[in-house]
Amino acid sequence: MIDYEWFIFLSPIIAFPISFTVGRYRRNLAGYIATISILISFILSFMVFLQIRGTSSPVYQSYNWFGDINVGIYIDHLALVMILMVSFVSLMIHLFALYYMGKDPNKHVYFAETALFTGGMLGLSISSNLVEFFLFWELVGVCSYLLIGFWYFKPNASSAAKKAFIVTRVGDLLFLIGLSILYVSLADKVASPLSIAYIVNPSSWPQILNYVGTTNLTLIGLLFMGGAAGKSAQFPLHVWIPDAMEGPTTVSALIHAATMVTAGVYLVARVYPIYLHSTAALDFVLFIGAFTALFAGTIGMVVNDLKRILAYSTISQLGYMFAALGIGSIIGDSAISFALFHTMVHAVFKALLFLAAGAILLTMMELRDVKKMGGLWKRMPITMTLMFIGAITLSALPFTASYYSKDTIIDASWKFFSSNGYSLFSFLPWLMLILGALTTTIYTFRFFFLAALGKPRSELAGKAKDPSKIVLIPLIILAIIALIMGQFQYLFYDFVYTNTIQVSIPYIVSLAPSMMVLLGLLITIPLYATSGWMSLDLRKSRLYRVVKNKYYLDRLFTNDIAERGIIPLSSGFSTFETYFSKSIEAIGSGTLKLGSFFRRLQNGIIEYYFVVLVIGISIILLIVELLGGF
Partner 1 sequence: MFMVSIFLLLILFSIAAFFVKKKSWEFSMISSLIILLLVFIYALLNFWSGYNGGIISNYHLSLVPSIGINFSSGVSSLTLALLLLTTVIMPVAIYTARNGRYASLFYGLMMLTEVGLFGLLISRNFIFFYIFWEAVIIPVFLLIAIYGSESRETASLKFFIYTQLGSVFLLLSILTLFAFYYNLNNVFTLNMTTLLSGQFINGTAVPIFWKYFVIFGFIFAFLVKMPSFPLHSWLPDAYNSAPYPVTVILAGGLSLMGGYGFFAILLPLSSIIPSAVLWIIISLGIISLVYFALVAMMQNNLKRMLAFASAASMGFVNISFGVGIMETGSYGIQELTGGIYQILAHGLIIALLFATLFAIKSKTGKENIHSLGGIHREVPVLSSIFLGGLLASLGLPGFAGFISEFSIVAASYAILGPLIFLVIFGMIITASYHVWAAQRALYGPYNETLGTINDIGRNDIVVLGSLLILIFVLGIYPNLIFGVISKYVGVFL
Which residues form the interface with partner 1 (CB under 8 A)?
A: 64-68, 131, 134-139, 142, 145, 149, 152-153, 155, 157-159, 161-162, 165-166, 169-170, 173-174, 176-177, 179-181, 183-184, 187-188, 566-567, 569-571, 573-574, 577, 580-581, 584-585, 588, 592, 594, 598, 601-602, 606-607, 610-611, 613-614, 624-625, 627-628
Q: Between residues 569 and 619, which has the closer beta carbon with respect to partner 1?
A: 569
| Shortest distance (Å) from residue 108 CB to partner 1 | 11
Q: Between residues 95 and 174, which has the closer beta carbon with respect to partner 1?
A: 174
| Shortest distance (Å) from residue 191 CB to partner 1 | 10
| Shortest distance (Å) from residue 551 CB to partner 1 | 23
3-state secondary structure of 191: coil
| Shortest distance (Å) from residue 271 CB to partner 1 | 16
Q: Between residues 27 and 169, which has the closer beta carbon with respect to partner 1?
A: 169
Q: Between residues 193 and 300, which has the closer beta carbon with respect to partner 1?
A: 193
> For the packed helices 77-100 and 262-270, what is the interaxial angle rounded to 10 degrees?
170
Nearest 5°: CA angle at 228, between 282 and 40?
Answer: 120
| Shortest distance (Å) from residue 145 CB to partner 1 | 7
Question: With b meaning 16 or more CB within 10 Å and e meaning fewer, what string describes 139-170?
Answer: bbbbbbbbbbbbbeeeeebbebbebbbebbbb
CB 106, CB 481: distance < 8 Å: no
CB atoms within 10 A of CB 473: 12
- Dihedral sign computed on CA atoms, order 50, 51, 55, 57: negative
Q: Between residues 140 and 323, which has the closer beta carbon with respect to partner 1?
A: 140
Distances (CA, A) of 197 to 47, 206, 338, 361: 21, 15, 22, 45
| Shortest distance (Å) from residue 315 CB to partner 1 | 22
CB 53, CB 186: distance < 8 Å: no
Q: Between residues 381 and 616, which has the closer beta carbon with respect to partner 1?
A: 616
Q: Between residues 136 and 493, which has the closer beta carbon with respect to partner 1?
A: 136
Query: Which stretches within 420-506 are classed as H helix?
Result: 424-452, 459-463, 473-484, 489-496
Q: Between residues 170 and 509, which has the closer beta carbon with respect to partner 1?
A: 170
| Shortest distance (Å) from residue 626 CB to partner 1 | 10
Q: Between residues 173 and 280, which has the closer beta carbon with respect to partner 1?
A: 173
| Shortest distance (Å) from residue 344 CB to partner 1 | 27
Element (H, E) at 621: helix 606-627
| Shortest distance (Å) from residue 594 CB to partner 1 | 5
3-state secondary structure of 129: strand
Nearest 5°: CA angle at 239, between 235 and 243?
Answer: 150
β-strand partners of 73? 61, 127
Element (H, E) at 62: strand 59-66
Q: Which of 438, 435, 239, 267 lies closest to 339 in space, CA to CA?
A: 267
